[in-house]
Structure 1
Amino acid sequence: MSEEHLAVDSACPPMKDGEVRLYGMRFCPFTQRVRIVLNAKNIPHNVVNINLKNQPEWYFKIHPDGKVPALDTGNEVVLESLDIADFLDEKFPDPPLYPNDPELKSRDKEFIKKFGKVVGATSRALHNTDNLPVEEYLKDILEPLEEFEAELTNRGTTFFGGDNPGMLDYIMWPWSERSKVPSALQDKEFHFQKEKFPTLVAWRDAMKDVNAVRDTITSLETHVKFLKGYSGANPEFDNL
């Protein structure tokens, strides 16, 4: 992984033959999604971090909007975290991250789509887009999770993927990691409702110990420090 986030005057690092390269940003949950999938599949790769406030000109040739993540295999570039995750699962099929059963695979994809509500609500809370008390955002985050609690309880397994995490687990993790950040940004404490979400609380604890996930985790304090500076003119991407 590149130690620094490359900015406007940075040159594009030359790619090696056979290199799988992920363009990302250290604190981006969508980048983290892809990093976890790459780890879960044991795919050798390099991460090149991009300064999203001051992107290098050459990066717009890779992603026209200058966003992350973007995956470059040397032969093709894939954009958007969900598309990249599915691309990796098809191109590198071992281990598979979706169930073999077509109906179960379809159900996992349905829940990935439903999780978009949590992603959107959490994003609004992290950036306080509506200038509201954090409690107002938490309602929109927690309500959709009731269906996920019921689903995992019904499956009767540690992870949505069974005894081991699958694609749905990995896609969800970055937002679980950030669950306490919106409250901390408003100098409040957030305690996940264990009595209402006992299965998801156990799931979260188990996910923290998964090797593919552990390597990508950022502390609560660092998330808060980054986001407090991100709205400024020159946010700090490095040295955090």
Structure 2
Amino acid sequence: MKPRLISTKLCPYAQRCAIVLAHKNVAHEIEFIDLNNPPAWFQDVSPLKKVPALVVGVHAFFGSSVINEYLDAQYPQPLHPINDLEKAVNRSWIEFGGECLSDIGAMMLSKTEQDATNARAALLNKFDHLEKVVGTGPYFNGSSFSLVDAAYAPSFQRIDYLNALWPGAWDAQRHPKTIAWKDNLLLHPAVVESTIGGLRELFYDFIRRREGYATRFM
């Protein structure tokens, strides 16, 4: 049965799942919804009223990590390390990636220069930790694309969009390995395939509508 991914066009968490589906060449459907006006069935699929959710036959479950763990177990080409200890380490850095997304959101939505600057500093501090664990690449675990890579690619994409508006979201001298990892990820075919047309414009429009500090650079 063909899985159906429930998403919004801008959601980075749902894009994590779209990347895994693309990488594994899984035949699937994607249904984009409006969280401000969701369909009546959505709460039955996702009681937290969040995306992503995945519908497989009569079953539905939600949360990007849960979905990607299922996809990795269900379809060939495993993206988690086989070793349990290495797998646990990878899961930890996926969790850390969610905290990075929170800082990106704060940079997008902060109303004042001080709040936006604080959010950027928090993100760069997190990249200090990433810089210590990222190797020579091209991916997080070396030559093999992983669920960690799928988790960070949407974040890196959006940081690039922010950096084009407001330079300073990246620090090449401070985080050269992280930036090299980012550059490799954004060229990966599954990441390219997961990127919907007009994503950059949707991202900027979202910032405009929220009237965040970053709008002054538009």
Using structure 2 for the length normalisation, give the TM-score.
0.87
Structure 1 residues 201 and 131, CA gap change in structure 2 (3 angstroms): closer
Match of residue 148, structure 2, among 168, 185, 202? 168
The alpha-carbon deviation at position 228 of structure 1 amounts to 1.9
Instruction: Work out which of the two has the higher radius of gyration on C-alpha atoms and give 1 or 2.
Output: 1
Regions of 4+ moved over 6 Å: none
Match of residue 102, structure 1, among 84, 87, 97? 84
Deviations along 1:10-52, one digit per CA (max 9) or x if unpaired, are xxxxxxxx12100100101111111011111111100000011
Residue correspondences, number = 209
In structure 1, C-alpha distance between the alignment counterparts of 2:53 and 2:169, rounded to whole Å = 34
Structure 1 residues 59 and 191, CA gap change in structure 2 (3 angstroms): closer
In structure 1, C-alpha distance between the alignment counterparts of 2:147 and 2:49, rounded to whole Å = 26
In structure 2, C-alpha distance between the alignment counterparts of 1:58 and 1:219, rounded to whole Å = 26
Q: Please say if residues 45 and 61 of structure 2, whose CA atoms lie closer than 8 Å, have aligned partners that are also in contact.
A: no
The residue aligned with 1:204 is 182
Q: Please say if residues 14 and 64 of structure 2, whose CA atoms lie closer than 8 Å, have aligned partners that are also in contact.
A: yes
Identity %: 24
In structure 2, C-alpha distance between the alignment counterparts of 1:113 and 1:191, rounded to whole Å = 21
Q: Gapped runs of 5+ residues in structure 1?
A: 1-17, 232-240
Q: Please say if residues 134 and 182 of structure 1, whose CA atoms lie closer than 8 Å, have aligned partners that are also in contact.
A: no
Q: Please say if residues 22 and 194 of structure 2, whose CA atoms lie closer than 8 Å, have aligned partners that are also in contact.
A: no
In structure 2, C-alpha distance between the alignment counterparts of 1:201 and 1:126, rounded to whole Å = 20
133-142 vs 45-54, which deviates more? Answer: 133-142
In structure 2, C-alpha distance between the alignment counterparts of 1:69 and 1:27, rounded to whole Å = 11
Structure 1 residues 212 and 115, CA gap change in structure 2 (3 angstroms): same
The residue aligned with 1:10 is none
Q: Please say if residues 124 and 137 of structure 1, whose CA atoms lie closer than 8 Å, have aligned partners that are also in contact.
A: yes
Structure 1 residues 131 and 55, CA gap change in structure 2 (3 angstroms): farther
Structure 1 residues 137 and 229, CA gap change in structure 2 (3 angstroms): same
Q: Gapped runs of 5+ residues in structure 2?
A: 212-218
Q: Please say if residues 98 and 161 of structure 1, whose CA atoms lie closer than 8 Å, have aligned partners that are also in contact.
A: no
Q: Please say if residues 126 and 181 of structure 1, whose CA atoms lie closer than 8 Å, have aligned partners that are also in contact.
A: no
The residue aligned with 2:123 is 141
The alpha-carbon deviation at position 160 of structure 1 amounts to 0.8
State the structure with bigger RCO (CA 8 A, min sep 6), 1 or 2: 2
Q: What residue identity is the alignment partner of 1:170?
A: A
Query: Is 1:177 aligned to residue 157 of structure 2?
Result: yes
Structure 1 residues 168 and 26, CA gap change in structure 2 (3 angstroms): same
Deviations along 1:145-176, one digit per CA (max 9) or x if unpaired, are 112111113xx331113213211111111111
1:33-112 aligned within 5 A: 33-92=16-75, 94-112=76-94
The structure with more helix, counted as a fraction of residues: 2
The residue aligned with 1:15 is none
The residue aligned with 1:214 is 192
In structure 2, C-alpha distance between the alignment counterparts of 1:81 and 1:74, rounded to whole Å = 18
Q: Please say if residues 162 and 169 of structure 2, whose CA atoms lie closer than 8 Å, have aligned partners that are also in contact.
A: no
SS at match of 1:57: coil
Using structure 1 for the length normalisation, give the TM-score.
0.79
In structure 2, C-alpha distance between the alignment counterparts of 1:42 and 1:129, rounded to whole Å = 41
In structure 1, C-alpha distance between the alignment counterparts of 2:171 and 2:191, rounded to whole Å = 23
In structure 1, C-alpha distance between the alignment counterparts of 2:126 and 2:173, rounded to whole Å = 16
Query: Is 1:224 aligned to residue 195 of structure 2?
Result: no
Match of residue 10, structure 2, among 27, 30, 40? 27
124-133 vs 211-220, which deviates more? Answer: 124-133
